[in-house]
């Protein structure tokens, strides 16, 4: 295998590990309140507070 092959393998493995980490973070019940508080972030005005009191 060439170095480009190994780089591709390492990148693929890193991407899979990152996706597993993201899935665990998103579907963890402890993080539900944090995600719910940010669920309408795109619809809020710039100076408006979220449900947890944080600005933006």
What's the pLDDT tens digit per position in 5-46? 999 999 999 999 999 999 998 899 898 888 888 887 777 777
Cα dihedral 28, 34, 36, 38 sign = negative
Continuous H helices in the chain: 3-27, 32-37
Token pair in block for residue 50: 């979220």
Position 5 scores a pLDDT of 96
More confident residue, 49 or 30: 30
Position 50 scores a pLDDT of 59
Collapse the DSSP code of 55 into the 3-class scheme (helix H, G, I; strand E, B; otherwise coil) and give the result.
strand
Tell me: pLDDT of 55 over 80. Answer: no
Q: What's the pLDDT band for 52 if we cut at 50, 70, 90?
A: low
State how far the Cα of 52 lies from the Cα of 24, in Å rounded to an integer. Answer: 23
Q: For residue 50, how many other CB atoms are within 10 A of its CB?
A: 15
The pTM of the full predicted model, rounded to 2 decimals, is 0.60
Report phi then psi at 49, rounded to 5. Answer: -90, 155
């Amino acid at each position: 295998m060439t170095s480009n092959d190994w780089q591709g393998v390492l990148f693929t493995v890193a991407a899979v590990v990152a996706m597993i980490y993201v899935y665990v973070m998103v579907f963890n019940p402890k993080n539900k309140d944090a995600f719910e508080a940010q669920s309408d972030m795109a619809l809020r005005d710039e100076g408006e507070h979220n449900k947890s009191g944080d600005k933006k």
